Structure 1
């Protein structure tokens, strides 16, 4: 039985994607018209099969191969091999090593104070700007995100003699090597200079670790040095880490603030929780972050509606059957995360912002792949835990001090730019807020909500 889908076009599918307004919107249209499994032309990869049903995705969850053609744009960052498309035999041990750092609480705690300071610096700037027009959330928050991941990946503040130059150099690399057209650099000389500088910074940090005999596995470079990895592979790992994480936190926080601006009742509830947990401090401590349980629900619902990475892809290494359709080995399987998150079979009224979807009672009734903001399987994001810590902390710092309102007349339009971006940023009015009186009694519980959410 042939997989349903649109007729093939001579342009390889580029025109259909453009006419839909982007690949993220094209996927919504395809699955609405053809069902949960769709055959379509994916520019750069030939014919692909898109799967928007979480139960059917179970059959692909073990796949540990990425389509190499789709990741050729990373080649300029890699001296050794493209870490994103390592074969499964090499990728498995490498993933375990990265998880030992990224997923570990010691790593998060080690950098938490510095993350707090960076978030507080941004809040201070916004406080000075209050009353002087709207703030461009994505611009400022992705800059903060890049600063945080640079310091994390390069060993903390001690590893950055000139943090502003590091972040500026990486922005040059992104814009020149990884522009939207993924074509040739517009200014190869400046991009090569910036890339050489970044590699030199990493080399200096590696040398400092070796000279000092450091073996701290909560430090990314320290763990890689201890594992005996060669400098080229360490440099590649740091560069790919910066690429993967430079926008994620900032974009997730931006969309969350946008949604809270449109839903003031939820914003009030977050504010009450923050005042109770954080008190008169500027930010929660690391343990207190876990008590901001309603804030976590809000962030998850925001990433359902606006997943930072709207899609992913794998390449089958064996014959599969998906929903009764034959899928041969070597097929590109496309993961339309945004379409998954909008599937009304698992998300009633999917476009409605309702954080209570993520209460334990409601979440227990959904397939595990109905919500995949960080991907799935052996190629899922190793830094998902770190990203959640960063995002919740930044939200806590900002929402403790400010209320956010949509800028009058500003339209927010999602587009794809490696992440789910807003075309003309997300511009909001930022106003200082008065702390709520700390309430000792529990808040009215939502359906299926844990009492612990209000302690």
Structure 2
């Protein structure tokens, strides 16, 4: 049976994607019109099939190959080969090494106190501003999570995080613009110079932090650099791994926390239930211990529901190495299988009233009713996000500290519009006012 989808366009589909506001919204429209499996044009791929049915996704979960052309925009970050498209033979041991650090409880616990200090420092700075000056959540929280992942990966801080974040944005904007032929300010020469300068800054920053660690003795394998050194990785591969890890971790975690606070600000009754739980679990303590996170079930559900509605990374992709049958359709070898996480999360067959913010969807009983891949904020299979466990620890800690201390309210008249910028960003940030909670856990009235 022929896979349904829009008629081919002479521009290779670029115009349709641009008109929709990016791939994430384009996928929502495609699946609403054509069903759970859609054939469409994707720049960089001759045959692309998007799958929004979590049951059918299971038949693709074993694929361990990414389409190289779709990830070319990340190649400039790497000197020893694009880490996003390593072949399976090289990718498997590299992934195993990353998981040994990023997913390991010992390394999480080792850095937890420092993460708490960094978060508390941000909360202190916000408190000094008072209730009349809104905060820009995504700007401040991505800076915070960059500092956190630098501490985790490198054992130190980035001296000028604002410049580093801006450099990441310059590189991504330029290379994503090339991939999708999207309009980017400036002439091609100006953009190339800006991207080259940004990349040089990023590499110098990483080199500087790595050099500051010094050398001598057996490496501490509970942090990323130590594990890479101990495994005998080359200097270029160590730098590449750190660069990609910083990029992925600081954007996605900061954005996930921002969207969660935004949704809780729109649903103060849910926020109060989360705050009540924090008061019950933490008492008078301003921040959780690592072991406390397991007891923060309402907070955990609110975070997961926000990542359902606003998945930090809105899509993924694999390349078939052999023909694949998905329901009534056959996908040829060499095709791009596109994972539209946002469309999967908005599938009404598995998420009734999908646009509503309902954290109770993530009680154990409700989770058991759904297919495993109905919720995929970190991707699936052997190319899923290695830092998922660390991201959840960071996000829950940050939310716990901030929600124990503040109530968040939307700024009247400020429109929050999700846009595609490598992650699911807000076009003009998410601006909110902060209201200190009263003593003994009671909100200030």
Q: Normalising by the residue count of structure 1, what TM-score does the alignment of the two structures yield? A: 0.91
Question: 1:425 Cα deviation (Å)?
Answer: 0.8
Name the structure 2 match of 1:84: 84
Cα pair distance change 1:49/1:188, threshold 3 Å: closer
Partner of residue 279 from structure 1, selected from 276, 279, 283: 283
Structure 2 Cα separation of the partners of residues 267 and 109 of structure 1: 27
Residue pairs, 1:4-403, within 5 angstroms: 4-154=4-154, 156-157=155-156, 160=157, 163-165=158-160, 167-179=161-173, 181-183=176-178, 184-187=191-194, 190-201=197-208, 203-204=210-211, 208=214, 211-403=215-407
Cα deviation, 1:363-419, whole Å, max 9, x if unaligned, reads: 001110000000000000000000000000000010001001111011111111111
CA distance in 2 between counterparts of 1:21 and 1:428 reads: 25
**Deviation sequence 1:28-69 (CA, Å, 0-9, x none):** 110111111000011232331000000000110000000100
d(CA) in 2 for partners of 1:348 and 1:305? 13
Q: CA RMSD in A?
A: 1.6
**Once the 2 structures are TM-superposed, how far is the Cα of residue 205 of structure 1 from its aligned partner?**
5.3
Q: Which moved more, 1:184-193 or 1:360-369?
A: 184-193
* In 2, Cα distance between equivalents of 1:346 and 1:381: 23
Instruction: Give TM-score scaled by structure 2 length.
Output: 0.93
Q: CA deviation at 1:201?
A: 2.1
Distance in 2 between residues matched to 1:360 and 1:407, nearest whole Å: 34
**1:435–1:2 CA distance, 2 compared to 1 (3 A):** farther
Contact 2:168 2:202 in 1 (8 A): no
What 5-or-longer segments of structure 2 have no aligned partner?
179-190
CA contact (8 A) 2:132 2:433 kept: no
With over 3 angstroms needed to count, the CA separation of the structure-2 counterparts of 1:202 and 1:64, relative to structure 1, is farther
Give the 3-state SS of the residue equivalent to 1:403 in structure 2: strand
Q: 1:414 to 1:324 in 2, by over 3 A?
A: same
> Aligned equivalents of 2:94 and 2:392: distance in 1?
22
In structure 2, the residue corresponding to 1:65 is in which secondary structure?
Answer: coil
Residues 419-452 of structure 1 show CA distances to partners (whole Å, capped at 9, x for unaligned) of 11111111111110124569xxxxxxxxxxxxxx
Local SS of the residue matching 1:429: strand
Question: How many residue pairs end up in the alignment?
Answer: 429
Partner Cα distance (2:324, 2:5) in 1: 18
> Structure 1 436/199 Cα, relative in aligned 2: closer, same or farther at 3 Å?
closer
Alpha-carbon distance in 2 for matches of 1:437, 1:197: 45
Shift in CA distance, 421/281, structure 1 to aligned 2, threshold 3 Å = same
**Cα pair 1:54 1:367 within 8 Å, conserved:** yes
**Structure 1 residue runs without a partner (length 5+):** 439-455
**Quick check: 2:301–2:359 contact (8 Å CA) kept in 1?**
yes
